[in-house]
């Protein structure tokens, strides 16, 4: 069983924005029987405007590469294991108040 790290002591922050760096993944599989792609999303536990479906994500720590940080998030948040592929890009979001 994998245990999630706690605390922000090792949290990686952006030098340009000061925001915390978060990594995520889009878990998918290609079905062998019909070659269709299935994408896994998880449900948010929040209620109201923040509720909905999302992809597993979490903070990236100083001792982790972004690739290495994405894999445990998939396991911790969605219960799936897999290989990571190339980066799909970078996005910035304004900080919530």
Rounded CA gap, 60 and 87, in Å?
14
Map out the domains of the chain as residue ranges.
22-78
pLDDT tens digits along 3-44: 455 656 788 888 888 888 889 999 999 999 999 999 999 988
pLDDT tens digits along 56-87: 988 888 888 888 888 888 999 999 999 888 88
Dihedral sign from CA coordinates of 6, 93, 89, 43: positive
Rounded CA gap, 77 and 95, in Å?
22
């Amino acid at each position: 069983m994998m245990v999630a790290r706690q605390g922000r002591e090792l949290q990686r922050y952006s030098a340009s924005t000061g925001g915390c760096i978060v990594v995520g993944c889009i878990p998918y599989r290609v079905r062998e029987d019909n070659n269709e792609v299935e994408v896994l999303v998880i449900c948010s536990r929040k209620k109201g405007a923040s509720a909905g479906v999302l992809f597993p994500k979490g903070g990236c720590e100083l001792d982790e590469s972004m690739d290495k940080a994405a894999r445990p998030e998939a396991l911790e948040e969605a219960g799936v294991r897999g290989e990571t592929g190339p980066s799909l890009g970078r996005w910035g979001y304004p900080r919530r108040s």
